[in-house]
A and B are shown apart, each in its own frame.
Chain A
Amino acid sequence: MPKVVTDVTCPFCGTLCDDLEITVSDDNKKILSVKNACAIGAEKFNHTKEPGRVTHPRMRQPDGTFKEISYDEAIDFTARMLVKSRKTLMYGWASTSCQAMSIGHEIAEKVGGIVDNCATVCHGSSLIAIQDVGIPSCTLGEIKNRADRVIFWGCNPAHAHPRHMSRYSIFPRGFFTVKGHKGRKIYCVDCRHTDTARVADTFIQVQQGYDYELLNAFRTAARGGPLPDEIGGVPKEKVYEVVEELKTGRFGVIFFGMGLTHTLGRNHNIDIAISFTRDMNEFTKFNIIAMRGHWNVTGSGQVLSWQYGFPYAVDLSRLDKARYQTGETTSVDLLTRNEVEACFYIATDPGAHFPIAAMISSSKKPTVTIDPHINCTTEISDVHIPVAMVGVETGGCAYRMDNVPIETRKVVDPPEGLLTDEEVLTRILNRVNQLMEEA
């Protein structure tokens, strides 16, 4: 009899939906159907059914092909690489569990690695701004139950966080939001007329790269100051009108994404968005939340922060203290300046998501990648160690975009013989300890 697993957490985006229902075959080996997930979440679970999964570690040969090796050989190669290298970039972590991270950090402390996560190319700018000016924020549950003014600024949840709008930010009825969508006013600020803009009541089309100016105008308007006729392509009347509407709300929130963190101004864009939020608290209750991308990128920031005090780009190469300096200990800068001696990637694919100059540098160094699937990075690595998919084939803790921890579940068994991230990392740690004792 197939059985239904309820309250499954989706390990794809920072919305971390925890209401999925998954039907699995009675031998616990196959996912038969997925309920409640969006297209991306469903694809993630369904993907396990597809043939061609790599089930053995692989080592790249001089001719570019890969040869299967045992876990022991792969772990030995990795440990030797880590012990030999004086500075190793240990990047990824956003798609694995907090438990796996803390084992990884122990390895980094031993070998003097630099631990960086996907925030480095994503919400890193936001983290810098938060360190500078703080953040008035709340949980998604509060949004669902209280928010009546919702702004999406430079983010596109219709594509990147597909169920965010139905679970929290636009459609649901909550304790004080009994009318659901009707009781909320939705704004979208973007340089494109995105699918999120289509569901907004008001779309504000900002010229690409003028978000800082427009946010500055919002701050000025909130204080009743004068504005030029047009700011970043938006007429001043519109700015005054929107700010007045926001003031009449009982509970407002700004969700922001890569439209702010990736454009010119970077952390300054977030800084001023937070400052505007703070200003608005003179008039009503206002909050701001970063639309974190990967399902557990927030978790990596959490674990690093409580262990070392910094949320990403933590340099442990001095062995006795942790350092953090964006532009210096951040992955892309380290790689383009050729400052690391080896690369260790886990649960990530910088090959697809880093600018090519960084990957050209990476490809010249000894590299090990731990990931369930073949991707752009595994194919230029020396060793690829396949693992079970966290949140599908093994459980572990994750943090939602609003910093709420949620346990992910094991739904099916991994293909036979596959180890989990935690098992592989523990074995690497043990081997590193052995090698260091021998030396």
Chain B
Amino acid sequence: MVEKITLNLITCRSIQQGVGMEAGKTSKKYFDACSIIEMHEDDMKNLGILKNTNVRVTSATGSVVVKAVTTRQELVPGLAHIPMGPWANRIVSAYTYSTGEPCFKGFPVEVEPAPSEQILSAVDVVKDACGLLKK
């Protein structure tokens, strides 16, 4: 067991994310669909966490708290997925290699257990970064 692990992160659409988006960005459906990180079971074991534990995910760009889950869209160990949305985008680099296209897939992140930390709502996770969240 280790305190944190380094994983390769991708961000993609999921049907739940799509449904959630149409239900509304402030809906529970959207929150449940997007404020998660899908991990391989081996990586969870390695980190000593159970499914549905909150974790802190940190990249060179930033850091965000999401819930670790497993998925039936199998990942290989070492690969993790956060559905596209404001949580994922807290840690996506804006560097575009002059293509206009940010680095949404394939960047290293550190994942550590954060069972006592809270997941911010979709709007708050953006406001927080912009310094607009009233504490």
Say if the beta carbon of A318 comes within 8 Å of chain B: no
- Segment among A18-26, A39-47, A135-143, A277-285 that sits at the interface with chain B: A39-47
Q: Are A44 and B100 in contact (CB under 8 A)?
A: no
Query: Which of A13, A124, A258, A267 has the most chain B CB within a 10 Å cutoff?
Result: A258
Among listed B41-49, B109-117, B126-134, interface-contacting one:
B126-134
B94 at the interface (CB under 8 A from A): yes
Least distance between B13 CB and chain A CB atoms (Å): 5
Interface set, chain A 330-383, CB cutoff 8 A to B: 330-333, 335-336, 349, 351-360, 363, 373-376, 379-380
Asked if residues A380 and B101 are in contact (CB atoms below 8 Å), the reply is no
With both beta carbons as reference points, the residue of chain A lying nearest to B84 in the complex is identified as: A353
Q: Is the CB of A327 within 8 A of B100?
A: yes
Using a CB–CB cutoff of 8 Å, the interface residues on chain B facing chain A are 8, 10-15, 18-19, 21-26, 61-62, 72-76, 79, 81, 84-86, 89-94, 96-106, 122-123, 126-127, 129-132, 134
Shortest distance from the beta carbon of B8 to any chain A beta carbon, whole Å: 6
Within 8 A of B (CB), among A222-274: 258-259, 261-264, 266-267
Nearest B residue to A364, CB-CB: B130
Complex: how many Å from CA A267 to CA B100?
Answer: 11
Report B-chain residues with C-beta under 8 Å of the C-beta of A405: none
Instruction: Specify the chain B residue showing the minimal Cβ separation from A40.
Output: B18
Distance (whole angstroms) from the CB of B108 to the closest CB of chain A: 11
Q: Are A64 and B134 in contact (CB under 8 A)?
A: yes
- The answer to whether A50 and B15 have CB atoms under 8 Å apart is no
Binding site for B on A (CB under 8 A): 12-13, 39-40, 43-44, 47, 50, 63-64, 120-121, 124-125, 128, 156, 158-160, 162, 191-195, 205, 208-209, 258-259, 261-264, 266-267, 293, 312-313, 326-328, 330-333, 335-336, 349, 351-360, 363, 373-376, 379-380
Residues of A within 8 A of B72 (CB): 195
Assess the A355–B61 pair: CB atoms within 8 A.
yes
Question: Please, could you name 18 A-B residue pairs with CB atoms under 8 Å apart, sorted by A?
Answer: A39-B19, A63-B134, A120-B101, A191-B76, A261-B101, A264-B106, A333-B96, A335-B94, A353-B84, A355-B61, A356-B61, A357-B94, A359-B126, A359-B129, A363-B132, A373-B24, A374-B25, A376-B123
Does A356 contact B79, Cβ atoms closer than 8 Å? no
Q: Does B23 lie within 8 Å of A192, measured CB to CB?
A: no
Q: By the criterion CB–CB under 8 Å, are A193 and B74 in contact?
A: yes
- Which residues of chain B have C-beta atoms less than 8 A from A120's C-beta? 100-101
Which B residues are CB-close (under 8 A) to A259?
A: 12, 105
Supposing A195-B73, A352-B25 touch, asked if A327 and B14 sit within 8 A by C-beta, the answer is no
Minimum C-beta distance from A232 to chain B (A): 12
Cα A67 to Cα B130 in complex, Å, equals 21
Assess the A50–B24 pair: CB atoms within 8 A: yes
What's the nearest-Cβ distance from chain A to residue B19, in Å?
5
Which residues of A have CB within 8 Å of B75? 192
B94 and A358 contacting across the interface, CB-CB below 8 Å: yes
Contact status A266-B97, CB under 8 Å: yes
State whether A208 touches B92 (Cβ < 8 A): no
Are A356 and B62 in contact, with the CB atoms below 8 A? Answer: yes
Contacts A209-B106, A356-B126 hold; do A351 and B76 have CB atoms under 8 A apart?
A: no
